[in-house]
Structure 1
Amino acid sequence: MSDLLTPEALERARDAALAAFAAAALLDDLATARTAHIGDRSPVAQARKAIGGLPGTERADAGKRVNVVAAAISAAFDARKAELEGERDARVLVEEAVDVTVLPPRAIGARHPLTTISERVADV
């Protein structure tokens, strides 16, 4: 069995991903952590590739273990992403607050006299 497919290696990969997601303070940090822990070069992706070289009896067990870890990592990512998006949305609401009771600024200038006369003539 490959070192990537051992339960200990998968547990370490899961723990590292969960720690990286929890440490992400911004959505950009979370995206970087996602690439490292869910992307094509992540330990879980490498473990999935290594499953192909196993005999049939071991392949099913290894696949189940990898899928459980991958599901846990994806769930942790989705939860943290929802949390960070909620924080961002709350911050935007506070920072970009608009007072709807304030009148809009008054328009500067007036209509040109010829335009006003033309409109009056057209109305008659």
Structure 2
Amino acid sequence: MNEGAVYLWTVPMFHCNGWCFTWTLAALCGTNICLRKVTAKGIYSAIAKYSVTHFCAAPVVLNSIVNAPPKDTILPLPHVVHVMAAAAAPPPSILVAMFQNGFRVTHTYGLSEIYGPSVVCAWKPESWY
């Protein structure tokens, strides 16, 4: 994340992927955006309204983003949004759809609630669709 990142909370702050981001955002003069309820409509709205640059999400949240009805989306996105998904890998169809919609998903694994991910699945240039 770069200085001034705008991070959308879709997971609890002190759960997987959360712990490290609270401190990172403070160090980078970033902005925290919190949702009362995690929905695809709420995520798309926050991206448009607050210029969200990053968020973490479980694969089920990525699925809801991809399969949201058109009335709940804002496509094309106004800018690229970086997403980290942890634990179970999102299905390839979800990864492709997220990429096509302007999201850049990185899959990680590890005890990320205390020290960050121990494994990051790096994209190969030939794998971008």
Give me the TM-score of the superposition, normalised by structure 1: 0.22
Of Structure 1 and Structure 2, the greater strand share is in: 2
Of Structure 1 and Structure 2, the greater helix share is in: 1
